[in-house]
């Protein structure tokens, strides 16, 4: 696969690993946060931690849009979708996320019309082909996905398709990073920046992290070589005592972002004054809501939403794991009460949530890995 | 050394789709509800087929049901799946299918044309596989109570001479062989459902693997320790079951696992792991290290086995788990499937 | 948020708002409206996320990056040789004599 296989070349990966070991000053302990859940997943999937020296530590950040959704919002979405004549459409990522009374798949088993879609456009198509039903699309995602939702709403309006609405749970990445840096428990040396969010917002929005907080940021792609090269670039900056934003993912990320995408978002969305993030609390100006000009297609403006706040069980330490203060295995519930099959918190449900990723890919790995026979 | 499986209790209040997906939830249902109530107290690890002694003769017996949507898909249909699935279950238990009986549950309103096409497909598949269809039963249920048709097949067969497979015979150092590329069937079905708007030149790999099993056993004899056809839940689930039942670890070499470009493309696009995707025409074999090379050659020399690979080996660690390693030294565990594989966007 | 995959544009619809894109032999119609400021043409490679093209992929930048990656460590190795002669203070590896913090 072009633009994929080259960035998985074993010899180059080995080389990048060596470079990291060469650059990492032995007496120093580097704490680097990868913000994006997709990076967390890639790190585990490709076994990249096996290539890093012990003093380069990757901390998982809060960039998992499923993980940061409070259970109350999931309950709201399910309450909306469970109404007679409704079709509840969402990405596969949402299907096993538990609400108070079950997950979308469990609701489906009890008779709710639940459909998995790959694209918001597919949800709109469901509305066209099911004129007698109302299709409610449960939208999630950071700025990577929001423009696609925006374009879909614009299309719905242009076509006058009234049996379609969006329950909008899009969140923005910068406030989440700010919350991390504001947290007193955090000590971080630098960031692996979210590559696909940056195709939309560009690299400028991270400049304050370098200029005001003195932490380098390298916007990274998702293949093993991308992530390793980004770590190389971060270590180089740290050795020189520099702090700037660099774009490792140049082949895809424009420094200025995608104007058409930003225009579409501005047309359809505005910032909510505040939004609750699971584990992080209320953060102002951190989430998107649909403008009044699109009220007709906003599930919240059109239908009544229960809006009940559901607090997480005290024992669940999702917040601390989200902020990178605790490792998944340090949460008291990890692996016992909370597993991918019976998740207590969303970090265990979403495949890119740090707890699920660690549980599925890592936590039973033997300490010394027998090397691959073919190396 | 085999460790006994921990006692599982089925405590869920209702049955979900996940319980039929072939992964962990299915396992819980079978081991936690069916086994305690139906099987004797000396139940060993559950396999694809049961071997029963009748007056000194060992007979292999298996049953399976087929619930697939859509009924017809590139490369096959439910009728062929039903025959090949049962032939394969017997084959990987070391038996040659002799006879199959079939049950149809038909939905009222099903067109005769569709039924006839499936029955015809079944007949052809049975002929191709060299198995007799010995009888059957039919029931019709109300419209809406069966997705057009459900098929159950029960097959019996006789042990292939020279076969001596069992979980306890698997030991560290043994090699893992795979008969061909993975994921073809599951991805074909996913695409055929039409929900994802994806197209590819892909066909289900449904076929009888008996000839390949015979070629393998002919070459390696008692060197074949264990076999399984990785259907629902994929290679990962089958090997995790072995790891769990045997207490050993299984290490796979990612670069050795055969997979077609379009299956890989679909999996990358949808965020799926090919190791969790269903196969209907492949099988896994654990073969002693002395026999592994010649066994692989025997597979590759047999019609339909050209793409067979040695994809890994049995080790002591990680005990009870399956590890996938990469050429550059990275590794990850791969677990049993939880429910159906779901596409993701994150 | 993050699962996006490179695909090649096979053919564009007349209005150029949608295109048939190929990912290793799997094809899907993809929405091009996010690229309207710099529309792609057939044979271009784009990054696809939830059925929308997010960005064009630059072959030149990709090639550049591969070049950089191939040369990783070579510059350092050369420097190590030179600094062994005591000609300049510079960063060394774990085996080295001095390093900047």
Residue range A248-259: mean pLDDT, rounded: 98
CA distance linking residue C55 with residue C57, whole number of Å: 6
Which chain B residue's Cα is nearest to A15?
Answer: B328
**Has residue A81 got a pLDDT over 90?**
yes
pLDDT at C78: 67
**Has residue A369 got a pLDDT over 50?**
no
Query: With DSSP H G I counted as helix, E B as strand and the rest as coil, what are the percentages for chain C, rounded to 5?
Result: 25, 30, 45
Interchain contact, C33 vs A38, CB within 8 Å: no
Do B104 and B28 reside in the same domain of the chain?
no
User: Which of A252, A256, A258, A287 is the best residue to mutate to test the C interface, defined by the most C CB atoms within 10 Å of its own CB?
Assistant: A252
User: Which of C25, C31, C46 is the best residue to mutate to test the B interface, defined by the most B CB atoms within 10 Å of its own CB?
Assistant: C25
Q: What is the CATH number of the domain that holds B315?
A: 3.90.650.10
Q: In which band, very low, low, confident or very high, does the pLDDT at A373 lie, cut at 50, 70 and 90?
A: very low
CA distance linking residue B72 with residue B77, whole number of Å: 4
Residue range A53-81: mean pLDDT, rounded: 94
- Rounded to the nearest angstrom, the minimum Cα separation between C20 and chain B is 10
C interface with B, Cβ–Cβ below 8 Å: 1-3, 5, 23-29, 48-51
pLDDT at A372: 33
B144 in a structural domain: yes
Q: Please tell me which of the candidates B330, B338, B342 has its beta carbon nearest to residue A48.
A: B330
Do B322 and B173 reside in the same domain of the chain?
yes
Are B240 and B335 spatial neighbours (Cβ–Cβ below 8 Å)?
yes
Instruction: Give the residue with greater pLDDT, B338 vs B304.
Output: B304
Give the rounded percent of residues in chain A with a pLDDT score beyond 70: 97
| A182 CB burial (10 A radius; 0-12, 13-18, 19+) | exposed
Do B212 and B323 reside in the same domain of the chain?
yes
Packed helices A120-129 and A146-159: angle between N→C axes, nearest 10 degrees? 20
Do B30 and B62 reside in the same domain of the chain?
no
Residue range A92-114: mean pLDDT, rounded: 92
Domain A1-363: CATH superfamily is HypD, alpha/beta domain 2 (3.40.50.11740)
Do B149 and B235 reside in the same domain of the chain?
no
Alpha-carbon torsion, ordered A168, A172, A178, A179, to 10 deg: 20
**Has residue A368 got a pLDDT over 50?**
no
Instruction: Give the residue with greater pLDDT, A317 vs C88.
Output: A317
Residue range B5-33: mean pLDDT, rounded: 81
Q: What is the CATH number of the domain that holds B68?
A: 3.30.1330.10
Do B217 and B318 reside in the same domain of the chain?
yes
Do B220 and B133 reside in the same domain of the chain?
no
**Which residues touch B90 (CB under 8 Å, ≥6 apart)?**
B48, B49, B60, B62, B96, B97, B155, B156, B157, B210
Do B183 and B120 reside in the same domain of the chain?
no
**Has residue B43 got a pLDDT over 90?**
no
SS3 A281: strand
User: Which of A19, A370, A371 is the best residue to mutate to test the B interface, defined by the most B CB atoms within 10 Å of its own CB?
Assistant: A370
Q: Please tell me which of the candidates A1, A17, A93 has its beta carbon nearest to residue B345.
A: A93
Instruction: Give the residue with greater pLDDT, C81 vs B10.
Output: B10
pLDDT at B45: 59
Q: How far is CA B311 from CA A305, B51, B182, B299, in A?
A: 52, 28, 12, 14
pLDDT at C85: 57
DSSP C56: E
- Rounded to the nearest angstrom, the minimum Cα separation between C3 and chain B is 5
Q: What is the mean pLDDT of chain A?
A: 93
ipTM, 2 dp: 0.94
**Has residue B296 got a pLDDT over 60?**
yes
- Scan for tokens 């544009």, then name that residue: C9
pLDDT at C1: 58
Chain A residues with CB under 8 Å of B330 CB are 13, 46-51, 224
CB pairs < 8 Å spanning B and C: 45
pLDDT at A371: 34
> What is the number of structural domains in chain B?
3
Are B315 and A62 spatial neighbours (Cβ–Cβ below 8 Å)?
no
Give the rounded percent of residues in chain B with a pLDDT score beyond 70: 96
Do B230 and B218 reside in the same domain of the chain?
yes
- Rounded to the nearest angstrom, the minimum Cα separation between C26 and chain B is 5
Q: In which band, very low, low, confident or very high, does the pLDDT at A274 lie, cut at 50, 70 and 90?
A: very high
**pLDDT digit string (tens) for B214-247?**
999 999 999 999 999 999 999 999 999 999 999 9
**Has residue A356 got a pLDDT over 80?**
yes
pLDDT at B89: 96
B139 in a structural domain: yes
pLDDT at C75: 66
- Rounded to the nearest angstrom, the minimum Cα separation between A49 and chain B is 7
DSSP A154: H
**pLDDT digit string (tens) for A2-60?**
999 999 999 999 999 999 999 999 999 999 999 999 999 999 999 999 999 999 999 99
Interchain contact, B200 vs C48, CB within 8 Å: no
Q: For chain B, count helices (H), then strands (E).
A: 9, 15
The H or E element spanning position B56 is none
pLDDT at A316: 87
pLDDT at C94: 37
Chain C residues with CB under 8 Å of B346 CB are 1-3
B173 in a structural domain: yes
**pLDDT digit string (tens) for A5-21?**
999 999 999 999 999 99
Could you say which of B133, B159, B185 is where a domain stops?
Answer: B159
pLDDT at B164: 87
pLDDT at C80: 64
The H or E element spanning position B50 is strand B50-54
Chain C residues with CB under 8 Å of B344 CB are 3
Do B106 and B223 reside in the same domain of the chain?
no
Q: What is the mean pLDDT of chain C?
A: 82
Q: In which band, very low, low, confident or very high, does the pLDDT at C74 lie, cut at 50, 70 and 90?
A: confident
**pLDDT digit string (tens) for B90-113?**
999 999 999 999 999 999 999 999
pLDDT at A252: 97
CA distance linking residue A264 with residue C17, whole number of Å: 15
Strand runs labelled E in chain A: 30-36, 56-63, 86-90, 114-116, 134-141, 164-170, 190-193, 217-219, 245-247, 269-271, 274-277, 281-284, 288-290
**Has residue A375 got a pLDDT over 60?**
no
User: Which of B195, B196, B199 is the best residue to mutate to test the C interface, defined by the most C CB atoms within 10 Å of its own CB?
Assistant: B199
Domain residues for B3? 1-44
Interchain contact, B197 vs C5, CB within 8 Å: no
Q: Please tell me which of the candidates B200, B264, B271 has its beta carbon nearest to residue C27.
A: B200
Interchain contact, B253 vs A373, CB within 8 Å: yes
Chain A residues with CB under 8 Å of C46 CB are none
Q: Which two tokens stand for residue B144?
A: 């809406």
**Has residue C88 got a pLDDT over 80?**
no
**Which residues touch B16 (CB under 8 Å, ≥6 apart)?**
A105, A106, A109, B25, B339
**pLDDT digit string (tens) for A116-172?**
999 999 999 999 999 999 999 999 999 999 999 999 999 999 999 999 999 999 999
CA distance linking residue A32 with residue A191, whole number of Å: 6
**Has residue B4 got a pLDDT over 80?**
no
B342 in a structural domain: no
Instruction: Give the residue with greater pLDDT, B346 vs B138.
Output: B138
pLDDT at B189: 96
**Has residue A263 got a pLDDT over 80?**
yes
Do B18 and B83 reside in the same domain of the chain?
no
Which chain A residue's Cα is nearest to C73?
Answer: A19
Interchain contact, A118 vs B196, CB within 8 Å: yes
Do B215 and B296 reside in the same domain of the chain?
yes
């Amino acid at each position: 696969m072009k633009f994929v296989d080259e960035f998985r070349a074993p010899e180059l990966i080995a080389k990048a690993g060596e470079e990291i070991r060469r650059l990492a000053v032995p007496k120093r302990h580097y704490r680097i946060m990868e913000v994006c859940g997709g990076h967390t997943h890639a790190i585990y999937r490709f076994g990249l931690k096996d290539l890093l020296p012990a003093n380069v530590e990757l901390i998982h950040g809060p960039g998992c849009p499923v993980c940061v959704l409070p259970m109350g919002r999931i309950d709201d979405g399910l309450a909306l979708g469970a109404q007679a004549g409704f079709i509840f459409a969402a990405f596969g990522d949402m299907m096993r996320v538990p609400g108070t009374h079950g997950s979308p798949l469990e609701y489906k088993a009890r008779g709710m019309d639940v459909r998995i879609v790959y694209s918001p456009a597919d949800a709109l198509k469901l509305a066209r082909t099911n004129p007698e039903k109302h299709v409610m699309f449960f939208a999630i995602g950071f700025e990577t996905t929001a423009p696609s939702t925006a374009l879909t709403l614009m299309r719905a309006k242009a076509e006058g398709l009234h049996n379609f609405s969006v329950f909008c749970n899009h969140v923005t990445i910068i406030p989440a990073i700010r919350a991390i840096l504001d947290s007193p428990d955090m000590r971080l040396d630098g960031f692996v920046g979210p590559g696909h969010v940056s195709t939309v917002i560009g690299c400028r929005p991270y400049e304050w992290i370098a200029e005001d907080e003195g932490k380098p940021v390298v916007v990274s792609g998702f293949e093993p070589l991308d992530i390793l090269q980004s770590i190389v670039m971060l270590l180089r900056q740290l050795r020189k005592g520099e702090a700037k934003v660099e774009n490792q993912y140049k082949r895809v990320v424009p420094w200025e972002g995608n104007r058409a995408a930003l225009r579409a978002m501005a047309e359809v969305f505005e910032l909510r004054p505040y939004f609750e993030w699971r584990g992080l609390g209320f953060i102002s100006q951190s989430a998107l809501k649909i403008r009044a000009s699109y009220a007709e297609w906003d599930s919240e403006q059109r239908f009544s939403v229960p809006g009940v706040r559901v607090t997480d069980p005290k024992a669940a330490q999702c917040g601390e794991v989200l902020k990178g203060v605790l490792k998944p295995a340090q949460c008291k519930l990890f692996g016992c009460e909370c597993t991918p099959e019976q998740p207590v918190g969303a970090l265990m449900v979403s495949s890119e949530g740090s707890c699920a990723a660690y549980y599925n890919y890592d936590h039973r790995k033997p300490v010394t890995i027998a090397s691959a026979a073919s190396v | 050394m085999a460790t006994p499986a921990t006692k599982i209790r089925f405590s869920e209040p209702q049955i979900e789709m996940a319980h039929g997906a072939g992964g962990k939830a299915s396992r819980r249902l079978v081991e936690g509800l069916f086994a305690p109530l139906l099987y004797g107290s000396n139940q060993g690890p559950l396999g694809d087929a049961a071997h029963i002694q009748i007056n000194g003769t060992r007979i292999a017996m298996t049953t399976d049901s087929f619930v697939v949507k859509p009924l017809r898909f590139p490369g096959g249909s439910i009728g062929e799946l039903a025959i090949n699935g049962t032939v394969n279950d017997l084959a990987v238990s070391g038996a040659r299918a002799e006879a199959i009986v079939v049950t149809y549950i038909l939905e009222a309103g099903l067109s005769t044309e569709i039924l006839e096409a499936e029955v015809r497909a079944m007949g052809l598949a049975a002929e191709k596989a060299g198995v007799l269809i010995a009888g059957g039963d039919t029931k019709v249920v109300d419209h809406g109570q069966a997705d057009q048709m459900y098929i159950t097949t029960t097959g019996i067969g006789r042990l292939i001479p020279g076969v001596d497979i069992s979980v306890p015979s698997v030991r560290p150092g043994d090699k893992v062989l795979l008969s061909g590329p993975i994921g073809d069937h599951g991805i074909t079905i996913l695409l055929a459902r039409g929900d994802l708007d994806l197209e590819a030149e892909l066909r289900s790999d449904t076929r009888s693997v008996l000839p390949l099993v015979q070629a393998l056993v002919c070459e390696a004899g008692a060197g074949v320790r264990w076999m399984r056809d990785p259907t629902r839940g994929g290679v990962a689930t089958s090997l995790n079951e072995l790891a769990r039942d045997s207490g050993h670890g299984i290490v796979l070499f990612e670069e050795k696992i055969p997979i077609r470009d379009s299956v890989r493309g679909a999996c990358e696009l949808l965020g799926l792991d090919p190791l969790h995707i269903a196969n209907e025409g492949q099988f896994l074999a654990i073969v002693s290290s002395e026999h592994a090379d010649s066994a692989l050659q025997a597979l590759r020399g047999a019609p339909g086995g050209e793409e067979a690979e040695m994809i890994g080996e049995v080790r002591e660690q990680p005990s009870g788990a399956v590890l996938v390693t990469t050429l550059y030294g990275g590794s990850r565990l791969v677990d049993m499937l939880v429910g159906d594989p779901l596409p993701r966007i994150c | 948020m993050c699962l996006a995959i490179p695909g090649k544009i096979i053919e564009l619809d007349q209005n150029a708002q949608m295109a048939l894109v190929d990912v290793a032999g799997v094809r899907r119609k993809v929405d091009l409206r996010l690229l309207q400021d710099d529309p792609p043409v057939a044979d271009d490679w784009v990054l696809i996320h939830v059925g929308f093209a997010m960005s064009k992929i630059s072959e030149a930048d990709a090639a550049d990056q591969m070049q950089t990656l191939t040369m990783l460590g070579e510059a350092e190795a050369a420097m190590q040789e030179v600094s062994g002669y005591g000609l300049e203070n510079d960063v060394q590896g774990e085996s080295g004599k001095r390093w900047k913090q």
